[in-house]
Structures are given as structure tokens and as C-alpha cells.
């Protein structure tokens, strides 16, 4: 069939554009083992670096002796803080306005902190020699519990800043205090609580977890002394930011730094910031004149690179007796570890935690967050969430269930009563966000109908009665969660990193034959960007997706961008892609008008061509126009067909979802079986439904891991007791439940294609849904709040504490 015989619909289908379940183009290389990751980079003369790390959580360093390590054959050098200090590189700036030690100088502040960096000709020699670095320590008292960090007699952790009265976010009230951040109307909120018929108050803690991507953090640094140029291959979610930071720290001009993020095996926020390994590899390469590779192992990844959560939220809701919420008050202690290395936009020390009013119409709210130092690893990254949104969603969704319980209302009915109504959008929340669009009641009703919610409650009632009669030892729990995400950081008025506005970019270049290369400032870590950005271009420009190459991760070729995290790729770079494509289309229209000898306005767009209005036989396809752009442009027009867009979004996007989970808990073993998990997501216009489903499956699996077992746990001495997959729950296909996915579509009114982000939604909504299900199982026995994680042992202990084992 040629073009003439195809209908518009057939031509549209051929493009594999937006809405198509296009197969992931990156999988062709991945399933054949042909991906190219950092550890695949092998350069002539390459050296390897490895760390000697502290066994203590808090100790003074009395002496470091590198003699034995240096004597190992194959070792070229051993770096300590004393070597980095003259270069002012023993500390590095963090994204949160603090500094973090690259190599510990006088003190170590958490277990496994980097103390010395051994450079050798072989990875295993480097590891063996690192063990031979002799460090004499004097142990100091440890802070593990963030609630004790600001006690009058708490040990002083950060001697380097002990006299600083002000931190990056204002006054510090204690030497272990980082910031206090408040938002909302305190007086109005206090008044709402005074007037309330019913109130609840609960400490809702979100335990410390870790993004634990399967590929750990790693880099190869190669300094060319002749050219004075530095090339760094790394697992960087934001390669341009790394280039700028590397230039600022090293003073190497930015144009002489080349940062390359090749294929990345999962990031989830873990690979946004800079780590001592990067700095040490760069310094080692400059010192030795040879490329240096640093690859962390699993224990190093779990115990030292950026953790997530560790938020302890004292949450109060005020409501009328008929179940209308009237106020929300949250006080949070945020444990940031030894250095404040949170990856948040500069102005937001608690990220977007003020989305904590969730999907509900709270007239007033007030939030106060205190960040504190402790003897734990630094971080506080947005693990598959948009800067503390997951903490906020867990907080409000648990609190709503607790309030429903107190009111004696069904949790779904209580939510229905308080959800923001469709006609209220755009909706400004009590804590200052403008939600772009939503149709919450339809989504929750669809979810309830899909699972047969009313019937499930009847079944649960019968089971509870059977339990009371001792006919069964199983409890049934039904978890409901309705979440609103805030993704797409961000409008430059609200969001920057190190002073760089959080826009993002796309550059599209059409070749004469109509094939395309597009380059973007974001960086996929498994999300399928090569597939989906091509789909946007295919629809916008009427060119077949298979003829479009999408490239990310090379700072020499990609336009400047702030990278991929916080589900910002679609809201920001997806928009930039559409805008750049539209610039190209506008030029193509002028070329078409010239070729067809009509006025621009006499043309209309039809899938893949401009045709003359009223005379559809006369047209020029986009492929023809690409050719013409290189030889037949109108007089005065420059040849070529390309455009770039740096897109500063006018607002965030607000995806949402309604999740329902059914669990059966065996009270004698604590074993909790997930019978059903239904997830309805609304991410506006859907670019690739199959990729969206994959994102939901992945995120729900992470949510299952977090809610049902994960915790980065420290003992009282600050030893990490969960630093390997033997102890840190990583769900495999064996444990992972079956997911049921569904959707509604409420486009974003301000996004050029109406799309919102989706990647993080399942992590954000999944965790409270599991938690609500487990809590729901026990609540008829008088329990109000059971803390995560809900592993079998803890769940058994809950049953024990409720007297169910007599
Ligand atoms: O920033 P990140 O890629 O992690 O998150 P995202 O923007 O939510 O996109 C994740 C993947 O889902 C990408 O491949 C998107 O193109 C795809 N997606 C989609 O197909 N439709 C949407 N409305 C949103 C995302």
C-alpha cells in the first residue's frame, strides 16, 4: 500500500506515535546483553580505586598509616584527607547547601565512611590494599535516634560547623540542628483544632530505606594532561549538573569537561548527587595521568550512598463529627544523617513535603520540619518520588485511615467525602500548591467498582466474626489509598539546583531523508526514553518513530538539562520535545506553502503532511519537506530543519491514583499474603500504555518491598545491620504479588501534550496502600497504627501484643 491508498488512521498507526504500545527499542540491546554500562568502559592503562572505610559510626581519627598499603605490589598511591586538603578537596559542597567530607579528616561520622582511597593496577589489589590502611580511632558517643539529636547533652557531631548559627535554610537551634522549615497558616490551623468535633494525633514514621538500584554507583575518570581535559563516565542521573559541579570544584573550565552517562541500571534517586568516589577517581586520574575506575559494591551502596525517607511525622487531623476534614497539622523530625546531602531544589529543604494535604480539601494546614544530623549515612534522596512526596502521601493516607476509624466511617467513604471535587481545579491547596487537573471521585469510584469493594467489606465482616469464633486464624485487610503526586520540577520561579533553574531541553534535527536525531537533557535509567520521546516526535511531526534516534547522557552533544528524577522527564523534557517539534513544524509549513504556491494559512495538517485546505490531493509530506529543507527553501529562509527548546514549565503536573489492596494475615506466623492489588493511575495523556504499565509494575514492586520488609537499620552503636541483600528485603518474582492496572485520563491543561509524569506514582501510592491494608486487618481489635515495615516477624509481634497468641 502506498500513501495514496492509506487512510489518515492507517498513516497515524504506521507512525507508532503517542498512545501506541510501541515495544521498547532499548530492549533490543538489553536482552542480548549488549547494553553498555560504566563497568563496560575499559581504557588503556586504566587503574582502579577502592576505599578504606570506617568501622565506627562516630570516632576520632588519631592516626592513619598507609605504609603497608603502599607496599603492596600494584599499588600506585593512597589518598587521605591530608592529600586532598591542600587542594581544598577534602570536603565537597552538597546540593542542600552543606558540605560533606570526601575523605574523613579528624573524625568519622558514620559507619563505612570513606577514610582513604587506594589506587592500584587491579581492582582486587586495590581492595586488598585498602584493608591494609591502618587507622587508629578513639570511639565517641553515637546518635542513632533522631529524637535525641537535639538533646541538651547530645554529642556534638559536626565539629566543622559547630559555631555556625545559620545553615543554608536559616537559623540553627542546636549544634546538631540543620534547619526548621514551616509553611501554612499556623494560627488558623490551631483555631481549626480548637473548634474541631474530632481530632486524631499519631506519630507516623517512615523508616530509612534505600533506592538500591541493581547497578551500584560507579565512574571512570580520565584526565588528558596534554589537552587539560577531563572525561568522566558515570552512573549520573543528571550529567550536566555533574559537569558544572566538577568544574566548580576542580576549577577545570566547563568546556574541558566531558561527562558521559552510558546505559544505567536503575537510579531511583540514588544517582543524582556526587559521591566521594567520583572526586577521588578524578583526583587520582589527575595525579597519575591515567584513567581511574571506581565501582562500589553492594554493601557500600546500601550503607554509604544516598538513603531515602527517615521522616518521623507527628500528624494531626481535625474534623467535624460527620466526617469533613477541617485542619491538618504535621510536625516532622527529618534524620538527614551526618551531612545534609538531600537532593532537593534549593528553596525546599523538606522537598515538596507540603503536598501533605494530599487529595483532600483541607481548608487550613500547617507543617513544620526540623532537619537534624545523626551518625548515619548522608542522603535523603527522592527515591522514586518527587522530593518527599512519598513521605507526605504515606503520612496523609495513614492519618486519613486513622481518622476514619475514629469516626467509625468506612475509609473509602471518608475519602469520597473529602476529595477535592472536579470543579475545584485548578485547586490551590492550603499549603500553597496549584493542582492543575483532577477527577478524583470518578477514579476512586472506578477502583471501588473494579474490585467489588462493597462485597469485600461484607466478606471481611464475615471473616472477623469467624475469627472471633476461633474458626479461622486469618485476618483480612482492605487497604485504600488515594494519592496526588506533584511532578515536573519545575517552574524556575520555584525550583533550582545550585542556582541553575530547573528547566529541561530537547534538540531535534531532521536529516534530508526525513530521519531524525533528538537529544535531550534528561537521562533514562530504564524508563524507556529512547522509545517514548520518539513517539512524541512521531505524532508531532508525522515521521515514523523507528526513524527517530533519541540520545541522552552526553554533555558534549545534549543541550543543557537538569536530568531525570522526580518523574520530571515527561512533564519537562517531554514538553520541550513537543515545543521543539512544533518549531520545526512551523518552518516546514512555510516550506510547504512555498512548494505548493499557497499562503501558509491555506494549509492544514493531516497526520504526516500539510495539505491545501479544500484540496486534499495537493499536499507535501513531512519526508518531502525534510528533503526540501536542504535545497528548496523559500527565498531568505535558512536551509536545514532543526530546533531546540529549553522548557521552563509554567507549573508542576499532578498525577493521581486510586489503589486498593486486599491482604490475608496469618496471626500465628505473621505471614501476610497479598490477595489482590489494584492500581488505577491517571497521568494525563498516555504516551506509551505498555511502558506506563511497566513503570507501575516496577514501582509497585518497590512499594511492596518498602512496606512489607525494607529498612536500613542501625543498632545502638550505629552499626548498619542491613547492608546486604541477605538482610535488606529485595523482592524477587517469588514474593512479588500480581498487579492489576487501570487508568483514567485527565490531561494536564498546561502541558503541550497534556501529559503528566507517572514513574513514581506507584511507589508513592503503593506504600500507604499496603500499610493501610495491614492496619485494616488489625483495627477491629483496637489497634490504630502499626509502623512499617510489615514483615512477617513484626506482624507476628503485633498479633502477640494484641494478645492473639494465648
Ligand atoms: O522522569 P522519568 O522518566 O523517571 O518519569 P516519567 O516522566 O514519569 O516517565 C517514565 C516513562 O513513562 C517514560 O518512558 C515516559 O515516556 C512514560 N510515560 C508515558 O508513556 N506517558 C505519560 N503520561 C508519562 C510517562
Q: Tell me whether residue 405 is one of the annotated catalytic residues.
A: no
Alpha helices (runs of H) in 529-574, residue ranges in sequence order: 529-541
Catalytic residue among 384, 388, 611, 686: 384
Peptide linkage before 406 cis (omega within 30 of 0): no
The predicted structure's pLDDT at residue 343: 87
Q: What's the CA-to-centroid distance between 568 and ligand 1, angstroms? A: 8
Instruction: Indicate the average pLDDT of the chain.
Output: 97
Give the whole-angstrom CA distance, residue 37 versus residue 126: 21
3-state secondary structure labels for all residues of 16-78: CCCCCCCCCCCHHHHCCCCCCCHHHCCCCCCEEEEEEECCCCCEEEEEEECHHHHCCCCEEEE
Pocket of ligand 1, candidates 695, 744, 756: which has the most ligand atoms within 8 Å of its Cβ, to mutate? 695
Residue ranges with strand state E in 291-364: 292-295, 308-319, 325-335
pLDDT of residue 806: 78
Secondary structure (3-state) at 279: helix
Q: Whose CA is nearest to atom 24 of ligand 1?
A: 757
Report the residue among 758, 761, 765 best suited for mutation to probe ligand 1: largest number of ligand atoms under 8 A from its CB. Answer: 758
Q: For residue 42, what are the contacts with CB-CB under 8 A and spacing of at least 6?
A: none
Summarised one tens digit per residue, pLDDT across range 344-386 is 898 999 999 999 999 999 999 999 999 999 999 999 899 998 8
Distance (Å, rounded) from C-alpha 549 to C-alpha 534? Answer: 7
Residue nearest to atom 12 of ligand 1 (CA): 692
Q: Measure 528 CA to ligand 1 centroid, in angstroms.
A: 8
CA 554 to centroid of ligand 1, rounded, Å: 20
Tell me the pTM.
0.97
Q: Which residues line ligand 1 (CB under 6 A)?
A: 527-529, 532, 564, 567-570, 683-688, 691-692, 695, 755-759
Distance CA 187, CA 618 (A): 68
**Could you tell me the distance, in angstroms and rounded to a whole number, from the CA of residue 657 to the centre of ligand 1?**
15
Name residue, grid cell 538500591.
212
The residue contributing the CA closest to ligand 1 atom 3 is 569
Distance 756 CA to ligand 1 centre (A): 8
Q: What pLDDT score was predicted for residue 527?
A: 96
Mean pLDDT confidence for 389-413: 98
709 φ/ψ angles, rounded to the nearest 5 degrees: -175, -20
What does the pLDDT look like over 600-631, one tens digit per residue? 999 999 999 999 999 999 999 999 999 999 99
3 pLDDT higher than 70: no
- Ligand 1 atom with minimal separation from the 757 CA: 8
Could you identify the atom of ligand 1 that is nearest to the CA of residue 685? 23
Question: What are the pLDDT digits (tens) for 734-777?
Answer: 999 999 999 999 999 999 999 999 999 999 999 999 999 999 99
Q: Check if 342 is active-site.
A: no
DSSP 530: H
Check: CB of residue 349 under 8 Å from CB of residue 386: no
Catalytic annotation present for 384: yes
Residue 803 alpha carbon to ligand 1 centre in Å: 47
Share of the chain above pLDDT 90, in %: 96
Please, are residues 750 and 649 in contact by the beta-carbon 8 Å criterion?
yes
Asked whether residue 2 carries a pLDDT value surpassing 80, the answer given is no
Which of the residues 16, 218, 237, 525 is marked catalytic?
Answer: 237
237 catalytically annotated: yes
- Cell numbers representing residue 355 in the block: 503536598
Tens digits of residue pLDDT in 163-192: 999 999 999 999 999 999 999 999 999 999
Q: Using CA positions, which residue lies closest to atom 11 of ligand 1?
A: 527
pLDDT surpasses 60 at 637: yes
User: Got the DSSP string for 768-802?
Assistant: HHHHHHHHHHHGGGT----PSP--HHHHHHHHHHT
Cα(10) to ligand 1 centroid in Å equals 26
Amino acid at each position: 500500500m502506498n500513501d495514496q491508498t492509506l487512510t489518515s488512521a492507517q498513516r497515524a498507526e504506521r507512525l507508532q506515535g503517542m498512545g501506541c504500545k510501541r515495544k521498547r527499542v532499548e530492549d533490543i540491546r538489553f536482552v542480548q546483553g549488549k547494553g553498555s554500562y560504566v563497568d563496560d568502559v575499559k581504557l588503556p592503562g586504566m587503574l582502579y580505586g577502592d576505599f578504606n572505610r570506617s568501622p565506627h559510626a562516630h570516632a576520632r581519627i588519631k592516626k592513619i598509616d598507609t605504609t603497608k598499603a603502599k607496599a603492596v605490589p600494584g599499588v600506585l598511591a593512597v589518598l587521605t584527607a591530608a592529600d586532598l586538603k591542600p587542594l581544598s578537596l577534602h570536603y565537597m559542597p552538597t546540593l542542600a547547601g552543606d558540605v560533606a567530607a570526601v575523605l574523613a579528616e579528624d573524625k568519622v561520622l558514620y559507619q563505612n565512611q570513606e577514610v582513604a582511597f587506594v589506587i592500584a593496577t587491579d581492582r582486587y589489589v586495590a581492595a586488598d590494599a585498602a584493608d591494609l590502611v591502618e587507622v587508629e580511632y578513639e570511639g565517641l558517643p553515637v546518635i542513632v535516634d533522631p529524637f535525641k539529636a537535639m538533646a541538651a547533652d547530645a554529642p556534638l557531631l559536626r565539629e566543622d560547623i559547630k559555631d555556625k548559627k545559620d545553615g543554608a535554610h536559616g537559623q540553627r537551634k542546636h549544634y546538631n540542628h540543620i534547619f526548621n522549615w514551616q509553611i501554612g497558616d499556623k494560627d488558623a490551623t490551631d483555631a481549626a483544632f480548637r473548634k474541631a468535633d474530632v481530632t486524631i494525633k499519631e506519630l507516623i514514621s517512615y523508616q530509612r530505606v534505600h533506592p538500591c538500584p541493581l547497578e551500584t554507583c560507579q565512574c571512570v575518570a580520565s584526565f588528558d594532561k596534554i589537552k587539560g581535559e577531563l572525561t568522566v563516565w558515570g552512573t549520573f542521573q543528571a550529567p550536566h549538573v555533574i559537569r558544572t559541579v566538577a568544574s566548580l570544584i576542580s576549577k577545570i573550565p566547563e568546556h574541558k569537561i566531558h561527562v558521559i552517562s552510558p546505559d544505567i541500571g536503575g537510579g531511583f534517586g540514588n544517582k543524582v548527587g556526587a559521591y566521594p568516589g567520583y572526586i577521588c577517581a578524578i583526583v587520582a586520574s589527575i595525579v597519575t595521568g591515567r584513567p581511574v575506575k571506581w565501582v562500589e559494591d553492594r554493601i557500600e551502596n546500601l550503607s554509604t550512598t544516598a538513603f531515602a525517607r527517615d521522616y518521623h511525622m507527628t500528624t494531626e487531623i481535625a474534623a467535624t463529627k460527620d466526617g469533613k476534614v477541617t485542619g491538618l497539622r504535621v510536625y516532622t523530625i527529618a534524620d538527614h544523617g551526618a551531612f545534609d546531602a538531600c537532593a532537593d531544589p534549593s528553596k525546599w529543604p523538606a522537598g515538596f513535603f507540603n503536598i501533605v494535604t494530599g487529595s483532600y480539601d483541607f481548608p487550613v494546614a500547617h507543617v513544620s520540619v526540623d532537619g537534624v544530623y545523626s551518625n548515619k549515612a548522608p542522603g535523603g534522596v527522592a527515591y522514586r518520588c518527587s522530593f518527599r512526596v512519598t513521605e507526605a502521601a504515606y503520612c496523609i493516607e495513614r492519618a486519613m485511615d486513622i481518622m476514619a476509624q475514629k469516626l467509625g466511617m468506612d475509609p473509602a467513604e471518608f475519602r469520597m467525602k473529602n476529595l477535592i471535587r472536579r470543579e475545584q481545579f485548578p485547586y490551590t491547596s492550603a499549603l500553597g500548591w496549584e493542582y492543575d487537573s483532577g477527577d478524583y471521585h470518578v477514579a476512586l469510584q472506578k477502583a471501588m467498582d473494579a474490585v467489588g469493594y462493597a462485597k469485600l467489606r461484607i466478606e471481611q465482616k464475615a471473616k472477623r466474626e469467624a475469627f472471633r469464633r476461633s474458626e479461622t486464624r486469618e485476618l483480612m485487610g482492605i487497604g485504600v489509598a488515594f494519592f496526588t503526586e506533584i511532578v515536573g520540577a519545575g517552574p524556575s520561579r520555584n525550583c533550582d539546583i545550585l542556582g541553575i533553574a530547573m528547566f529541561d531541553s530537547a534538540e531535534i534535527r531532521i536529516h534530508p531523508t526525513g530521519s531524525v536525531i533528538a537529544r535531550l537533557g534528561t537521562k533514562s535509567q530504564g524508563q524507556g526514553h529512547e522509545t517514548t520521546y520518539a513517539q512524541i516526535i512521531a505524532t508531532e511531526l508525522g515521521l515514523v518513530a523507528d526513524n527517530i534516534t533519541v540520545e541522552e547522557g552526553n554533555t558534549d552533544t545534549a543541550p543543557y538539562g537538569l536530568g531525570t528524577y522526580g518523574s520530571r522527564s515527561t512533564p519537562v523534557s517531554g514538553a520541550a520535545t513537543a515545543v521543539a517539534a512544533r518549531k520545526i513544524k512551523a518552518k516546514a509549513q512555510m516550506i510547504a506553502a512555498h512548494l505548493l504556491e499557497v499562503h501558509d494559512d491555506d494549509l492544514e495538517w493531516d497526520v504526516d503532511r500539510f495539505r491545501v485546505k479544500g484540496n486534499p490531493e495537493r499536499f507535501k509530506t513531512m519526508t518531502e519537506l525534510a528533503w526540501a529543507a536542504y535545497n528548496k527553501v523559500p527565498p531568505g529562509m535558512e536551509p536545514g530543519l532543526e530546533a531546540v527548546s529549553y522548557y521552563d514549565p509554567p507549573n508542576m503536573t499532578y498525577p493521581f491514583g486510586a489503589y486498593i489492596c486486599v491482604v490475608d494475615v496469618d496471626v500465628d506466623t505473621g505471614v501476610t499474603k497479598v490477595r489482590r492489588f489494584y492500581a488505577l493511575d491517571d497521568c494525563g495523556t498516555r504516551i506509551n500504555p505498555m511502558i506506563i504499565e511497566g513503570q507501575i509494575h516496577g514501582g509497585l514492586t518497590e512499594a511492596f518491598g518498602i512496606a512489607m520488609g525494607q529498612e536500613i537499620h542501625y543498632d545502638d552503636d550505629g552499626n548498619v545491620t542491613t547492608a546486604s541483600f541477605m538482610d535488606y528485603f529485595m523482592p524477587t518474582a517469588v514474593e512479588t504479588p500480581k498487579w492489576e492496572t487501570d487508568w483514567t485520563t485527565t490531561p494536564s491543561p498546561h502541558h503541550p501534550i497534556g501529559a503528566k509524569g507517572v514513574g513514581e506514582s506507584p511507589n508513592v501510592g503503593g506504600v500507604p496502600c499496603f500499610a493501610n491494608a495491614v492496619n485494616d486487618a488489625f483495627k477491629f481489635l483496637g489497634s490504630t497504627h502499626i509502623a512499617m515495615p510489615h514483615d512477617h516477624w513484626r506482624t507476628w509481634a503485633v498479633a502477640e501484643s494484641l494478645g492473639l497468641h494465648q
